[in-house]
């Protein structure tokens, strides 16, 4: 029987990984600090779960929690883009130092398999090309004067031409553009260093926009799906920034949990490697499309496109999930319409 340690296993994604692992018949241990900013109410864990309340930065607790473990699923992290740069120390401490402690404890305990919750944010902007061409172009940072004029798509740094978005794969360049993104890329680099030193195996799962039951709501760190749902629950129209045509890939949390189990099994079958995988549906949804679908599901007012912008926001980021399908044997299965209906019902039911 596989014994898995899920750090952050009481959280939004971690709890679904735990549920999926139990359903698979695995032996599950959870380590979670139960931070009050993440868990205002104490979560309920299945009786079959062995629970350790500790911070991932606690080396002694981590080593104790790793006793007899086959694979670590490292979900514990401070997520979201933060409020301002004052959040940087906490993000760095929890995400970077915490991951370093997890990996050092794994080395000490000789646990050689890791699944890391990374993120699409390591890419920065997604893939782009010039109109009528296929060669990839890295976009220039968006200019305030363009944003103020309603020109939201990035430009080619050489010609100034407005670029056409495409789908990025794992060979795409990384370009983290905020503190959270920097910490996620640092986690990947730490995992790769651990692999080189120990001969372990690590699956680096670059989650795209995850939604579903249990998603954090009404916090500065909530995702756009939760923000729209909360507005609709108040009887308000969702407010959509820019022109609403921002492209994203929204993936259900149960699909993400299934990807984690597939990745955990993959780590048992490969040699020393740290391999990134896009965890996405491969389908494009605009932000306005998401808001409209949620409004329909909740019988609420249509979204309002405000034209507002945040200078640091990414315009388009969608992905190919072909590598995950080919190498992990995993593919997203939850239809967006059905997933959003359930997501809406959680708030209204």
Q: Alpha-carbon distance 66 to 109, whole Å? A: 7
Return all residues near 260 (Cβ < 8 A) that are at least 6 apart. Answer: 17, 20, 73, 115, 117, 205
Cβ atoms 252, 334 nearer than 8 A: yes
Q: Alpha-carbon distance 180 to 207, whole Å? A: 14
Q: Which of 117, 8, 110, 103 is nearest to 68 (CA)?
A: 110
State the chain's maximal CA–CA distance in angstroms: 61
Cβ atoms 20, 81 nearer than 8 A: no
Q: Which of 177, 174, 175, 146 is nearest to 161 (CA)?
A: 146
What's the Rg (C-alpha) of the chain?
A: 20
334: helix, strand or coil: coil
Here the tokens at position 167 are: 């789908």
Cβ atoms 274, 189 nearer than 8 A: no
Residue 164's alpha-carbon distances to 21, 136, 139, 319, in angstroms, are 40, 10, 10, 14
Could you say which of 180, 207, 211, 309 is catalytic?
180
Cβ atoms 267, 71 nearer than 8 A: yes
Confirm whether 180 is a catalytic residue: yes
Cβ atoms 52, 30 nearer than 8 A: yes
| Catalytically active residues, by annotation | 180
């Amino acid at each position: 029987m596989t014994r898995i340690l899920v750090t952050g296993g009481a959280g939004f994604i971690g709890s679904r990984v735990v549920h999926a692992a139990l359903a698979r018949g695995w032996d599950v241990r959870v380590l979670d600090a139960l931070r009050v900013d993440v868990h205002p109410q104490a979560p309920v864990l299945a009786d079959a779960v062995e629970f350790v309340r500790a911070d991932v930065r606690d080396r002694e607790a981590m080593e104790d929690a790793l006793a007899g473990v086959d694979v670590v699923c490292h979900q514990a992290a401070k997520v979201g883009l933060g409020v301002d740069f004052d959040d940087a120390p906490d993000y760095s401490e929890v995400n970077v130092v915490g991951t370093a402690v997890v990996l050092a404890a794994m080395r000490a305990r000789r646990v050689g398999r890791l699944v890391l919750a990374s993120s699409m944010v390591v890419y920065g902007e997604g893939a782009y090309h010039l109109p009528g061409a296929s060669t990839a172009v890295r976009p220039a940072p968006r200019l305030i004067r363009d944003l103020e004029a309603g020109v939201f798509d990035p430009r080619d740094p050489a010609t100034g031409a407005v670029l056409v978005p495409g789908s990025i794969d794992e060979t795409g360049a990384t370009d983290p553009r905020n503190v959270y993104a920097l910490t996620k890329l640092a986690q990947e680099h730490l995992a790769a260093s651990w692999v080189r030193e120990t001969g372990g195996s690590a699956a680096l799962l670059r989650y795209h926009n995850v939604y579903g039951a249990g998603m954090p709501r009404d916090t500065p760190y909530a995702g756009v799906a939760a923000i729209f749902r909360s507005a609709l629950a108040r009887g308000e129209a969702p407010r959509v920034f820019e022109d609403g045509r921002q492209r994203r890939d929204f993936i259900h949390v149960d699909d993400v949990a299934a990807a984690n189990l597939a990745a955990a099994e993959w780590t048992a079958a490969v040699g020393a490697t740290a391999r990134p995988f896009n965890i996405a549906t491969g389908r494009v949804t605009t932000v306005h499309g998401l808001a409209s679908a949620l409004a329909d599901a909740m019988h609420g007012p249509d979204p309002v496109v405000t034209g507002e912008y945040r200078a640091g926001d990414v315009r388009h980021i969608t992905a190919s999930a072909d590598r995950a399908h080919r190498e992990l044997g995993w593919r997203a299965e939850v239809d967006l319409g059905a997933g959003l209906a359930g997501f809406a019902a959680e708030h209204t039911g």
